[in-house]
Structure 1
């Protein structure tokens, strides 16, 4: 089988592909900068050469691997006739590339390190290195024991104190078996000037520096620095103007006893453009909130469950839209074990939330920046909290990234809904990141 391939690539991509001969090769930089395509070309060139060990693709989840790795590889517009030699079903543990078995590992899985520990690896591709657990990545490095073994990976920038930057990228002169290439948005020759300008206009502050300029900068100040709740800014709309919903994906619930309990309802719109093409966005449609300090009434789990179930069964859509849609999932704070049991007794099955805080913040920031996540004026807790949500300066001084844990209950509920259902809404909504 011939693997000769022809690509229209930039000089930066060509240089990185040609120079990627070290054991570990990392393509890093801004979103949509063409780094992923360059890394994938190098990966498929290496597949037939990988011997005496397994071929592995690793990412945060198998769903994210499908989206970021296999969708491009199986796209004939990107990879031409090679695309038909890539076989993968989303969520499956293995794929086939050029007839070779490829193991697909979601590193967010608690058993990922155990799976990696027993492997001899000849070739590994790592998608979005910075969102992986450090232990899983370092375990994979230890398994590159086949002759000529290689690890190829991509990442967007993160904090300058991130373990990938601190332990590896800042020490390239001490690591002769490592190589790295930095990409910026303007390196992508496939993007029009208009598309580049639009992407640059979407982001501000920290997210502009990381996602557009490709800089490893420390988090400081407002987390959602693009957020503007004022009329006309496009982030908040009157509930009455809500467009038709395709589906109600989930309700995210953040549980509090002395702190507020908040629930946010997330939907995907059925919007179309003037040519009849789908242009879906996500909307936080409605909010439940109980704050015992405001009401001067602390609810038991039984009473809180009754209130939540009653709220869940209400109609949350304006009369002008379909009125009988119901949320697919109720996603509950991982720490809310007692409320989970009570809601089960009250007839509501809940799903435990994905509580990867930094990944969730990054995803929410991308959605907000690209105006693909809109909030109605019924979500008053979210609107208030988003304006004051900030990075913890004491944590930043230690090289860590943490939000200040004050007035974030509606934001946590929203993050649970978005992050936990990512494999659903990503089928309809694409992000630059």
Structure 2
């Protein structure tokens, strides 16, 4: 038996417009209820129709929506063909697609749709969303969309959510307290997990601008230390590479899940003279000394250096996870939880914490982007920490998912 919160029941009952949006805090059951409302909508059509399930990528669409539907309706309820990105459900076709860039808009051209389930809509380009909306043209067609809050300048907020009454859309706001199935200890866990901007958006459900210093939870008196452990459980390295820009190596030691930035290498090519790829590889060997790191994470665009390091025997080199916003959340979470400390000799890294800020002009376009100024050490830090410890409540596995998610 499927259990719904009162808010979820209201959404299923009232989400009968062409565009229906569930928006708000994380872990409130938005995706679950929107997916179920979408399937119930599909089942209302007697004649064969076409539908879409869309996520930032096809994989996230399957994980966040298709897997949820199979959980609640049974795996046998859906015949999912991976090669064709297609679901067959009671004579209907549901295409599972990603919408991660402007090129995705072409995937929807020529379609005639009776509905769609769109997850994480603020991650789509506007052109993709509006193409789907235009293609949803069958009589009685409906779209069910979900999102967490983003910038107050984001097109979804300014042109759809704020104008919902005017345009005849249905919007329901979800908050953590609306989900009675979440254990109290889990609610406290996720409240303590997020900080700053991400707390306001993902916990409070507010559409707030990314403004000012990014790591405003960084306190030098707390996070910069003059003493570090002598023994570590493992070491990881983060590398930000630049021929014209600075190249940074950071050595990070992990002890009892606490991360310590032990030392830094910082070379400014413009001021100190350029080095060859081979010389940077030799410098890394000298930088590490007898330390054998578990992994070396490097900017994935630095293919020449990655190749050289592997040729020189660094077989544990990995392309870093370069998701900027998620990476910022990872580092911010560790600072907020007092799980990240910087040794006082890492002067360049410490300096960058005070100047790493959000780009105001990008924010006015509805985009969350850091200013690309004095960010090389922080990029190296993000590469290492987010690649080794990708932040996300789903990944924590601390508490099993309650019903109603």
TM-score range, shorter chain: 0.7 to 0.9
Name the residue aligned to 2:59: 63
Distance 2:345 2:29 in 1: 37
Name the residue aligned to 1:165: 157
Please give the per-residue CA displacement for 1:197-220, whole angstroms capped at 9, x wherever unaligned.
Answer: 333333343222211111111122
Name the residue aligned to 1:117: 109
SS of structure 2 residue aligned to 1:168: helix
SS of structure 1 residue aligned to 2:108: helix
Q: Which moved more, 1:150-159 or 1:356-365?
A: 356-365
Name the residue aligned to 2:8: 13
1:221 to 205, 212, 221: 212
**How do residues 325-336 of structure 1 correspond to structure 2 at under 5 angstroms?**
325-326=294-295, 331-334=298-301, 336=302
**How do residues 1-400 of structure 1 correspond to structure 2 at under 5 angstroms?**
6-49=1-44, 52-75=48-71, 79=72, 82-86=74-78, 94=85, 96=87, 98=89, 101-108=93-100, 111-176=103-168, 178-228=169-219, 238=228, 240=230, 242-243=232-233, 253-263=239-249, 289-292=265-268, 296-308=272-284, 315-317=291-293, 325-326=294-295, 331-334=298-301, 336=302, 339=305, 357-358=324-325, 360-362=327-329, 365=332, 367-368=333-334, 371=337, 374=340, 377=343, 380=346, 382=349, 384-393=351-360, 395-396=362-363, 400=367
Pair 425,396 (structure 1): closer, same or farther in 2 beyond 3 Å: closer
Pair 114,392 (structure 1): closer, same or farther in 2 beyond 3 Å: closer
Name the residue aligned to 2:368: 401
Does structure 2 conserve the Cα–Cα contact (< 8 Å) formed by 1:252 and 1:331? yes
Q: Which moved more, 1:419-428 or 1:194-203?
A: 419-428
Pair 348,29 (structure 1): closer, same or farther in 2 beyond 3 Å: same
Aligned residues: 396
Pair 42,255 (structure 1): closer, same or farther in 2 beyond 3 Å: same
Does structure 1 conserve the Cα–Cα contact (< 8 Å) formed by 2:23 and 2:30? yes
Please give the per-residue CA displacement for 1:270-304, whole angstroms capped at 9, x wherever unaligned.
Answer: x8xxxxxxxxx796877763322798342123422
Distance 1:353 1:299 in 2: 22
Does structure 2 conserve the Cα–Cα contact (< 8 Å) formed by 1:262 and 1:287? no
Q: Which moved more, 1:162-171 or 1:369-378?
A: 369-378
Offset of residue 141 of structure 1:
1.8
Pair 198,353 (structure 1): closer, same or farther in 2 beyond 3 Å: closer
- Indicate the RMSD between aligned Cα atoms, in angstroms: 4.4
SS of structure 1 residue aligned to 2:65: helix
SS of structure 1 residue aligned to 2:54: strand
Distance 2:130 2:300 in 1: 30
Offset of residue 137 of structure 1:
1.9
Gaps of 5+ in 1: 1-5, 272-280, 318-324
Does structure 1 conserve the Cα–Cα contact (< 8 Å) formed by 2:100 and 2:123? no
TM-score normalised to the size of structure 2?
Answer: 0.77
TM-score normalised to the size of structure 1?
Answer: 0.73
Name the residue aligned to 1:320: none
Does structure 1 conserve the Cα–Cα contact (< 8 Å) formed by 2:126 and 2:155? yes
